[in-house]
């Protein structure tokens, strides 16, 4: 594949990295809530999931109040949330060199924490550091457009279920994606 596209660049974009952060925070929150319930503590982590997973700018007023309340406690969930907020600085760097330095320092801090999902995430980030740093070379390019196109193609293929010929599926794709040239066929699409 790389022979056909010599100038291609594999990028781990912001959306997918932050999704992994959300999964890690949610695991920490769920484990901590379960442990607190077993230990007989008040369930103040109840209804806090979206407070910790959403970005601050997207929180409702009620969620802002809940987040402020949670910040008063020394919870592992709050620490994981703050680690994610701290990692947001990674996307503000203009060069891969400084971003790499920040990434390594952040991963060192995450590994020193007692939060296992964050340690696992730090290990994953370091493992994929070159792909992550390609984000800076691509100037913040997101793979969202490509993923949207792929989802549309998958949906079209599901709708074309039962068609056995490759050519028929290809025509269905041309028809669904509209702006692509219509292939020559025995009939015209409306």
User: Mean pLDDT for the chain?
Assistant: 84
Q: Is residue 149 part of a domain?
A: yes
Q: What is the domain extent for residue 164? A: 144-177
The reply to whether 90 and 126 lie within a common domain is yes
In a domain, 164, yes or no: yes
Phi and psi at residue 188, in whole multiples of 5°? Answer: -105, 145
Same domain, 110 and 172: no
Based on the fold, state whether residues 56 and 93 are members of the same structural domain: yes
Residues 61 and 18 in one domain: yes
pLDDT surpasses 50 at 147 = yes
What's the average model confidence in pLDDT over 119-136?
92
Both 29 and 116 in one domain: the answer is yes
Do 64 and 89 reside in the same domain of the chain?
A: yes
Find the angle CA(89)-CA(148)-CA(18) to the nearest 5 degrees: 20
In a domain, 105, yes or no: yes
Output the CA angle 63-66-72, nearest 5 degrees.
Answer: 145
Give the pLDDT band of residue 1 (cuts 50, 70, 90): very low
Taking 90 as the threshold, does the pLDDT of residue 26 lie above it? yes
Q: What is the pLDDT of residue 153?
A: 78
Question: What's the whole-model pTM score?
Answer: 0.74
Residues 86 and 29 in one domain: yes
| Total tally of structural domains belonging to the chain | 2
Give the per-residue pLDDT at 90: 94
Overall size of the chain counted in residues: 190
Q: Are 79 and 148 in a shared domain? A: no
pLDDT at 189 over 60: no
The 3-class secondary structure across the chain, one letter per residue, is: CCCCCCCCCCCCCHHHHHHHHHHHHHHHHHHHHHHHHHCCCCCCCCCCHHHHHCCHHHCCHHHHHHHHHHHCCCCHHHHHHHHHHHHHHHHHCCCHHHHHHHHHHHHHHHHHCCCHHHHHHHHHHHHCHHHHHHHHHCCCCCCHHHHHHHHHHHHHHHHCCCCCCHHHHHHHHHHHHCCCCCCCCCCCCC
Do residues 24 and 103 both lie within one domain?
yes
In a domain, 97, yes or no: yes
Give the pLDDT band of residue 129 (cuts 50, 70, 90): very high
Residues 89 and 171 in one domain: no
Q: Is 108 in the same domain as 169?
A: no
Residue 8 domain-assigned? no
- 157 & 68 share domain: no
Judge whether 189 lies within some domain.
no
Q: Is residue 44 part of a domain?
A: yes
Give domain status of residue 74, yes or no.
yes
Domain end, chosen from 137, 161, 185, is at 137
């Amino acid at each position: 594949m790389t022979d056909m596209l010599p100038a291609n660049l594999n990028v781990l974009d912001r959306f997918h990295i932050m999704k992994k952060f959300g999964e890690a925070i949610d695991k920490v929150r769920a484990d901590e809530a379960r442990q607190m319930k077993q230990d007989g503590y008040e369930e103040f982590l109840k209804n806090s999931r979206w407070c910790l997973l959403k970005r601050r700018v997207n929180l409702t007023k009620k969620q802002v109040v809940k987040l402020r309340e949670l910040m008063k406690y020394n919870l592992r969930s709050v620490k994981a949330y703050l680690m994610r907020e701290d990692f947001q600085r990674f996307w503000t760097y203009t060069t891969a060199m400084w971003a790499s330095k920040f990434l390594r320092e952040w991963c060192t801090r995450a590994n020193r924490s007692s939060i296992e999902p964050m340690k696992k995430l730090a290990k994953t980030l370091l493992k994929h550091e070159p792909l992550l740093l390609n984000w800076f070379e691509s100037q913040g390019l997101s793979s969202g457009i490509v993923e949207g196109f792929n989802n549309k193609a998958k949906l079209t293929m599901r709708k074309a279920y039962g068609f056995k010929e490759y050519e028929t599926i290809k025509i269905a794709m041309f028809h669904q994606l509209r702006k692509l040239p219509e292939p020559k066929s025995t009939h015209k699409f409306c």
